Amino acid sequence: MHFASDNTGPVHPKVMEALVRANDGYAPAYASEALAADVTAQVRTLFEAPEAMVHLVVSGTAANSLLLASHTSPWDTVFCARTAHINTDELNAPEFFSGGAKLTTVPTEDGKMMPDDLRKAIEGEETRDLHGPSRGPVSLTQTTEAGTVYSLDELTALTSVARDYGLKVHMDGARFANALVKLGCSPADMTWRAGVDMVSLGGTKNGLMGVEAAVLFDPAKSREFELRRKRGAHLLSKHRYLAAQMNAYLTDGLWLKMASAANAACRRLADGLRSTPGANLMYHYQTNIAFARLPRAAHRRLMASGAEYHLWDATLDGGPEDEALAARFVTDWSARDEDTDRFMEVLRG
Ligand SMILES: *Cc1c(COP(=O)(O)O)cnc(C)c1O
């Protein structure tokens, strides 16, 4: 019953096979191997973006921070959701890599920024001449941290606000594939056609050992990204093992199959929660993350039976047994129906 996060699961066997194939003999180092060029070619084809530049790193924090730093001056501010990973879970790395830029946070509804709130946040900055921050890029998360998904219209509405002020748009796509299969659209529709300039394209949470791709649709800042990646200690010398993973991921739709499996597993869990008295789903659940409130006694039972998940802004001890406590449940590509069914049995006591 592994619902703690989608980075606790195994690597897909096809990815392991690709690593073994890449392990055959010698190859040039530092992203000059043939496999790296294959990744760029695959991304350009899949995203219908022949000019796109693609650079691999080993963490989402690095992809986000290096992309944002390449488009942000130290005196700028980046606009993001209050709940954004870059705001709450990256230990100020975006600020650090940008040389001191700050973040201006925007409230969310159902995990999403609303265009009017984004506009208000943008209007609120660059009003103090030399004394306050300048407006920098807007960063959106798709799938959001709440497991919800921006529709294409919602994305376009937000990027249009950014455009009104001449700001670039970054997408944190740690769970890009989960949103993509949910919307059933093309990668181009969910990115540059909707006004997105750059994407942190996640792999680790969706079956890779540890690779995220920074995709720049406008190649102008690509060189700067590479310089920052090296200086930031994120240019791997045995880069072929990153490229091999990302190649396998994008080949024959493996990334989409894994994301569909993760989403389906979460749907099974969410349907079960929805039909359980005393359990309440919290957001308009859409992908492979569900939040729900359950009575403390149910959490105790589940955890004692070995269910793994995180309570959200709550602790198990120190309150009435019938108090509803929020929790987050995340599924990955390898989740098994029988584990979800066992979870439901324990939950229903
Ligand atoms: C997991 C995650 C990341 C990347 O995290 P790392 O631990 O740095 O790989 C980025 N954004 C979101 C929304 C995430 O959930």
Amino acid 14: pLDDT: 98
Residue 143 Cα: closest atom of ligand 1: 13
Residue 61 Cα: closest atom of ligand 1: 8
Task: Tell how far the Cα of 44 is from the centroid of ligand 1, in angstroms.
Answer: 23
Task: Tell how far the Cα of 249 is from the centroid of ligand 1, in angstroms.
Answer: 18
Task: Tell how far the Cα of 61 is from the centroid of ligand 1, in angstroms.
Answer: 6
Task: Tell how far the Cα of 87 is from the centroid of ligand 1, in angstroms.
Answer: 11
Question: What distance in Å separates the CA atoms of residue 290 and residue 151, rounded to the nearest whole number?
Answer: 18
Termini Cα distance of the chain: 16
Amino acid 207: pLDDT: 98
Per-residue exposure over 2-28, b if at least 16 CB sit within 10 Å of its own CB, e if not: bbbbbeebebbebbeebbeebeeeebe
**Ligand 1 in contact with 134 (CB < 6 A)?**
no
The residue whose CA is least distant from atom 14 of ligand 1 is: 174
pLDDT digits (tens, 9 = 90+) for 225-274: 999 999 999 999 999 999 999 999 999 999 999 999 999 999 999 999 99
Residue 213's closest CA among 240, 174, 248? Answer: 174
Residue 130 has pLDDT above 90, yes or no: yes
**Ligand 1 in contact with 59 (CB < 6 A)?**
yes
**Ligand 1 in contact with 173 (CB < 6 A)?**
no
pLDDT digits (tens, 9 = 90+) for 140-163: 999 999 999 999 999 999 999 999
The residue whose CA is least distant from atom 6 of ligand 1 is: 60
**Ligand 1 in contact with 40 (CB < 6 A)?**
no
The pLDDT confidence band at residue 318, using thresholds 50, 70 and 90, is confident
What backbone torsions phi and psi does residue 57 show, to the nearest 5 degrees?
A: -140, 175
**Ligand 1 in contact with 172 (CB < 6 A)?**
yes
The pLDDT confidence band at residue 285, using thresholds 50, 70 and 90, is confident
Half-sphere exposure of residue 137: CA atoms within 13 angstroms, side-chain side: 27
Task: Tell how far the Cα of 72 is from the centroid of ligand 1, in angstroms.
Answer: 20
Q: From the CB of residue 62, how many other CB atoms can be counted at a distance below 10 Å?
A: 23
The residue whose CA is least distant from atom 4 of ligand 1 is: 60
> How far is the CA of 282 from the CAs of 140, 294, 307, in angstroms?
21, 11, 20
